[in-house]
Amino acid sequence: MPSTVDPQSLFTFKNGDVRIIVTHEGERIVGKVSSHAMALVSPVWENFIYDPRKTSSKDTLPNAATTASNSHKDLRKPAEEVDFSEDDSEALLTLLRIAHLQFSSIPPAMHYKQLLNLAVLCNQYLCVNIVRPWLGLWLKDEYSQGMLQGQENWLFIAWTFGRYSVFKYVAAKMVTEITTGEDGRCLTSDGNEISEPMPPGIVESILAIRDKTIGELLNIPYSKMGTYEASNGSVCARSFIGATAVSACDAIIYGSLTLGLRKLGLWPRKNIEDIHISVQELADAVSSIQIHCSNHHGACRPGNIEEEVRSLLEKVPDPVLESHRRHMAAQIREEL
Which amino acid, 320? V
Other Cβ atoms less than 10 A from the Cβ of 125: the count is 21
Report the DSSP beta bridge partners of residue 83.
Answer: 21
Does residue 1 register a pLDDT over 60? Answer: no
143-170 pLDDT tens trace: 999 999 889 999 999 999 999 999 999 9
- In the chain, the percentage of residues whose pLDDT exceeds 90 is 72
Q: For the residues 263-280, what does the mean pLDDT come to?
A: 97
Assess contact for 90 and 114: CB atoms under 8 A. Answer: yes
Q: For the residues 84-113, what does the mean pLDDT come to?
A: 97
Other Cβ atoms less than 10 A from the Cβ of 100: the count is 18
Does residue 53 register a pLDDT over 80? Answer: no
pTM of the shown model: 0.87
Does residue 262 register a pLDDT over 60? Answer: yes
Q: For the residues 33-57, what does the mean pLDDT come to?
A: 85
CA atoms within 13 A on the CB side of 64: 6
Distance CA 33, CA 20 (A): 7
Distance CA 224, CA 204 (A): 31
Q: How many residues does the chain have?
A: 336
Assess contact for 201 and 324: CB atoms under 8 A. Answer: yes
Other Cβ atoms less than 10 A from the Cβ of 120: the count is 19
**Average pLDDT score, the chain:** 89
Helix (H/G/I), strand (E/B), else coil: 192 = coil
Report the DSSP beta bridge partners of residue 32.
Answer: 12, 19
Q: Most confidently modeled of 54-68, 249-263, 307-321?
A: 307-321
Distance CA 181, CA 274 (A): 10
pLDDT given for residue 57 in this prediction = 37
Tell me which of 240 and 215 has the higher pLDDT.
Answer: 215
pLDDT confidence band for 66 (50 / 70 / 90): very low
Helix (H/G/I), strand (E/B), else coil: 25 = coil
pLDDT given for residue 59 in this prediction = 45
Q: For the residues 296-323, what does the mean pLDDT come to?
A: 90
Distance CA 222, CA 86 (A): 53
- In the chain, the percentage of residues whose pLDDT exceeds 70 is 86
pLDDT given for residue 278 in this prediction = 97
2-26 pLDDT tens trace: 556 788 899 999 999 999 999 999 9
| Paired sense of beta strands 18-24 and 81-83, if any | parallel
- List of residues 6+ apart from 115 with CB closer than 8 A: 138, 139, 157
CA atoms within 13 A on the CB side of 324: 25
Distance CA 226, CA 237 (A): 17
Go through 133-147 and write b for each residue having 16 or more CB atoms within 10 A of its CB, e for each that does not. Answer: ebbeebbeebeebbe
pLDDT given for residue 234 in this prediction = 77
Tell me which of 125 and 231 has the higher pLDDT.
Answer: 125
Q: For the residues 306-325, what does the mean pLDDT come to?
A: 97
- What is the end-to-end Cα distance of the chain in Å, rounded? 33
pLDDT given for residue 68 in this prediction = 45
Assess contact for 87 and 20: CB atoms under 8 A. Answer: no
pLDDT given for residue 247 in this prediction = 84
Tell me which of 109 and 65 has the higher pLDDT.
Answer: 109
DSSP string, 85-137: TTS-HHHHHHHHHHHTT-GGGS-S---HHHHHHHHHHHHHTT-GGGGHHHHHH
